[in-house]
């Protein structure tokens, strides 16, 4: 047999095993694993490199409407290019509904933005902002059936926050359709109350973003989301968990047998609230929600990753330009932290940060790294085993890593649409040198070689993890 490609001489690592092995690829799929595989149109020398499943970043925001006068820094071309340089082969952005919009139309609009504009594969989660009977009774079940098998709900943000009644209704649809629910857990009224009070006291600098969303706000909403999910008996993923108290709510729910999953992100391992205390709006570069906390919270998030309380490590990439009134500097007159768009870039730095701080520093095995950054994302969102592993029959979505390479993260190394990285100056050991999607290199030895439009939209199955505990 002649393969299209053989990746030869590398060390393959999956979520469960590490082994010296060549990888044979035909027609975009992995068709053989072994030694002496024979001939191929192209032999790729991976000596000294790790051969890992490409990263799947299941929490990114791309080209999402972000309020009057604010523009997100990435379109699908720049976000997926940046993701590819960061060792990713697939991203799952959101198709965000706004009140009054048809969900089906929203999905069409996002396809119009994404189709033919991606370097790596994509699939959409939905965001449900309008829990009307028409949306929940007809559009949502039909979309789940069509492969949009997960959706996010917000317990905060103007125009997005759902009431408990609406959350319960949405969760019931998830239970009936087998979709996975992602929850942004922060108490909206508490944030509004604290924000008003801070502003009345003249406390408007960016550092007060953190003060307006303390840990109790996240812990309470996490507890409430879990309680609502328990009432309906539906699995949920609590996204972007930032601290021990919220994490403990998840751990406690799991000890009680509930299917409650957790995700954390690089900002909660690397940044603290002090980063938001910059002069001249510099702190705006780090404004995201939930906000970065303190060193103890960072330690807690590491424990959550090591103990499996968090099964996903995602970027929550939500990029705005810093030096730009359409970005973090906000239009004239809007000087309070209230108006700074929430979100930071991170799709390109997620994997190098976790590899370096996790694997290179001995906190995680390479197999845990693969699980947290690729395999578990595929399993959680109905993509496994097509995506998220190196196995015969799986898509040949592969990242080649140099585990010894030392780099210092800097905006000059980035390939996205933002004008800064919140991780400027962080030294890392371990770097993705090449990324291949369905057998085709997108990035090769640090150079973009893939074609715009080479990334496909991927409809998804229902996740095994989204199955309720009891029969319908």
State the binding string over 226-245 for ligand URP (x if CB under 6 A, else -): --------------x-----
Closest CB to Zn ion: residue number: 184
C-beta of 268: minimal distance to Zn ion in Å?
A: 13
Q: Which residues are bridge partners to 448 per DSSP?
A: 443
Longest dimension (CA), the chain: 74
- Return the CA Rg of the chain: 21
218 binds Zn ion (CB under 5 A): no
Nearer to ligand URP, 93 or 343 (CB): 343
Identify what 342 binds: Zn ion, ligand URP, none; CB under 5 to 8 Å per kind: ligand URP
Nearer to ligand URP, 184 or 438 (CB): 184
Q: Pick one of 52, 288, 359, 426: the residue that binds ligand URP (CB under 6 A).
A: 288
State the binding string over 163-192 for ligand URP (x if CB under 6 A, else -): ---------------------x--------
Contact 250, 227 (CB under 8 A): no
Q: Pick one of 81, 175, 184, 438: the residue that binds Zn ion (CB under 5 A).
A: 184
Q: Pick one of 74, 205, 316, 368: the residue that binds Zn ion (CB under 5 A).
A: 316
Rounded CA separation 348/93 (Å): 14
C-beta of 186: minimal distance to ligand URP in Å?
A: 9
C-beta of 288: minimal distance to Zn ion in Å?
A: 8
Pick the closest to residue 433 from 396, 390, 403 (CA basis).
403
C-beta of 430: minimal distance to ligand URP in Å?
A: 26
Pick the closest to residue 233 from 309, 140, 169, 171 (CA basis).
171
Q: Which residues are bridge partners to 26 per DSSP?
A: 29
CA distances from 268 to 83, 305, 418 (A): 20, 12, 20
Main-chain phi, psi angles of 143, to 5 degrees = -70, -40
Could you write out the DSSP letters of every residue in 27-45?
Answer: TTEEEEEES---EEEEEEE
Pick the closest to residue 53 from 108, 95, 103, 13 (CA basis).
13
Rounded CA separation 226/249 (Å): 8
Could you write out the DSSP letters of every residue in 208-234?
Answer: HHHHTS-HHHHHHHHHHHHHHHHHHT-
Nearer to Zn ion, 64 or 429 (CB): 64
Where do we find the tokens 């406690």? 252
Rounded CA separation 257/399 (Å): 36
Identify what 171 binds: ligand URP, Zn ion, none; CB under 5 to 8 Å per kind: none
Identify what 315 binds: Zn ion, ligand URP, none; CB under 5 to 8 Å per kind: none
Rounded CA separation 119/450 (Å): 7
**# binding residues, Zn ion (CB under 5 A):** 2
Q: Pick one of 14, 195, 242, 342: the residue that binds ligand URP (CB under 6 A).
A: 342
318 binds ligand URP (CB under 6 A): yes
Is residue 291 classed as helix, strand or coil in its secondary structure?
Answer: coil
Q: Pick one of 11, 150, 212, 289: the residue that binds ligand URP (CB under 6 A).
A: 289
Nearer to ligand URP, 11 or 311 (CB): 311
Identify what 288 binds: Zn ion, ligand URP, none; CB under 5 to 8 Å per kind: ligand URP
**# binding residues, ligand URP (CB under 6 A):** 9
Q: Pick one of 56, 57, 58, 61: the residue that binds ligand URP (CB under 6 A).
A: 61
How many alpha carbons lie under 13 Å from residue 283 in its C-beta half-sphere?
A: 21
Nearer to ligand URP, 98 or 404 (CB): 98
C-beta of 386: minimal distance to ligand URP in Å?
A: 26
Provide the H-helix boundaries in 156-312. 164-177, 188-200, 208-211, 215-232, 244-255, 267-270, 295-307
Nearer to ligand URP, 342 or 360 (CB): 342
Q: Tokens at residue 450, please?
A: 């893939």
Q: Which positions lie near ligand URP, rule CB under 6 A? A: 61, 184, 240, 288-289, 316, 318, 342-343
Interacting residues toward Zn ion by CB under 5 A:
184, 316
């Amino acid at each position: 047999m002649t393969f299209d490609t053989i990746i030869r001489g590398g060390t393959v690592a999956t979520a469960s095993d590490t082994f010296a092995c060549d990888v044979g690829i035909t027609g975009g799929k992995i068709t053989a694993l072994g030694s002496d595989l024979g001939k191929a149109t192209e032999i790729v020398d991976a000596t000294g490199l790790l051969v890992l499943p490409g990263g799947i970043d299941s929490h990114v925001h791309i080209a999402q409407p972000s309020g009057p006068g604010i523009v997100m820094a990435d379109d699908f071309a720049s976000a997926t290019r940046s993701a590819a340089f960061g060792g990713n082969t697939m991203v799952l952005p959101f198709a965000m509904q706004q009140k009054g919009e048809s969900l089906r139309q929203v999905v069409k609009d996002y396809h119009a933005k994404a189709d033919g504009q991606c370097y790596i594969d994509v699939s959409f989660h939905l965001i449900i902002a309008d829990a009307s009977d028409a949306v929940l009774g007809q559009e949502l079940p039909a979309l789940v059936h069509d492969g949009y098998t997960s959706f996010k709900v917000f317990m905060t943000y103007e125009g997005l926050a759902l009431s408990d009644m609406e959350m319960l209704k949405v969760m019931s649809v998830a239970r009936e359709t087998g979709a996975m629910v992602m929850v942004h857990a922060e108490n909206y009224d508490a944030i509004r109350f604290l924000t008003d009070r801070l502003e009345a006291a003249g406390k408007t600098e960016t550092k007060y973003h953190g003060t307006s969303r303390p840990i109790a706000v996240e812990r309470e909403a996490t507890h409430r989301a879990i309680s609502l999910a328990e009432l309906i008996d539906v699995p949920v993923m609590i996204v972007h968990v930032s601290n021990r108290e919220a994490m403990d709510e998840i751990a406690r729910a799991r000890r009680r047998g509930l299917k409650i999953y957790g995700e954390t992100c690089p900002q909660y391992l690397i940044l603290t609230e002090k980063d938001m205390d910059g002069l001249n709006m510099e702190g705006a570069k780090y404004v995201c929600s939930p906000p970065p906390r303190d060193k103890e919270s960072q330690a807690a998030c590491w424990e959550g990753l090591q103990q499996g309380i968090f099964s996903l490590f995602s970027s929550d990439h939500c990029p705005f330009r810093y030096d730009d009134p359409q970005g973090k500097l906000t239009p004239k007159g809007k000087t309070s932290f209230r108006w700074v768009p929430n979100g930071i870039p991170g799709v390109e730095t997620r994997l190098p940060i976790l590899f370096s701080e996790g694997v290179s520093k001995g906190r995680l095995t390479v197999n845990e790294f693969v699980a947290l950054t690729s395999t578990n994302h595929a399993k959680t969102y109905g993509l496994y085993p097509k995506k998220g592993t190196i196995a015969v029959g799986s898509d040949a979505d592969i990242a080649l890593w140099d585990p010894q390479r030392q780099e210092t993260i800097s905006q000059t190394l980035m390939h996205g649409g933002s004008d800064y990285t919140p991780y400027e100056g962080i030294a890392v050991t371990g770097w993705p040198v090449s990324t291949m999607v369905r057998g085709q290199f997108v990035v090769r030895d640090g150079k973009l070689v893939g074609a715009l439009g080479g990334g496909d939209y991927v409809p998804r199955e229902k996740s095994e993890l989204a199955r309720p505990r009891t029969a319908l």
